[in-house]
């Protein structure tokens, strides 16, 4: 089965907007859409679709959290050596 998002805003292969405010807006819209879809699927009792929706919601909330992190001054994941300058 090939994944096809039910909204184009949820397509993980689409380009990430350049500005922080555009990213925030797009992610907010995606999450709001998924929350509405989750409520609809719960009312209908469609468990397999509800499970997929919850997974997608979790993914987009994770993306939003990652993009909300402040830029790091030190991007090197290795710990600094003592005495190194």
* Domain residue spans of the chain: 19-68
Query: What is this structure's pTM?
Result: 0.70
- Residue-wise pLDDT tens digits, 10-21: 777 888 788 888
Taking the C-alpha atoms of residue 23 and residue 17, their distance in angstroms, rounded to an integer, is: 5
Contact 7, 33 (CB under 8 A): yes
- The three-state DSSP-derived secondary structure of the chain is CCCCCCCHHHCCCCCCCCCHHHHHHHHHHHHHHHHHHHHHHHHHCCHHHHHHHHHHHHHHHHHHHHHHCCCCCCCCCCCCCCCCC
- Residue-wise pLDDT tens digits, 1-43: 455 666 667 777 888 788 888 889 999 999 999 999 999 999 9
């Amino acid at each position: 089965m090939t994944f096809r998002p039910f909204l184009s805003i949820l397509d993980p292969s689409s380009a990430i907007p350049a500005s922080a405010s555009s990213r925030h807006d797009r992610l907010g819209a995606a999450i709001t859409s998924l929350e509405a879809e989750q409520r609809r699927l719960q009312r209908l009792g469609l468990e397999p679709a509800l499970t997929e929706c919850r997974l997608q919601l979790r993914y987009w909330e994770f993306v939003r959290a990652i993009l909300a992190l402040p830029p790091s001054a030190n991007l090197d994941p290795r710990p600094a050596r003592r005495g190194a300058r």
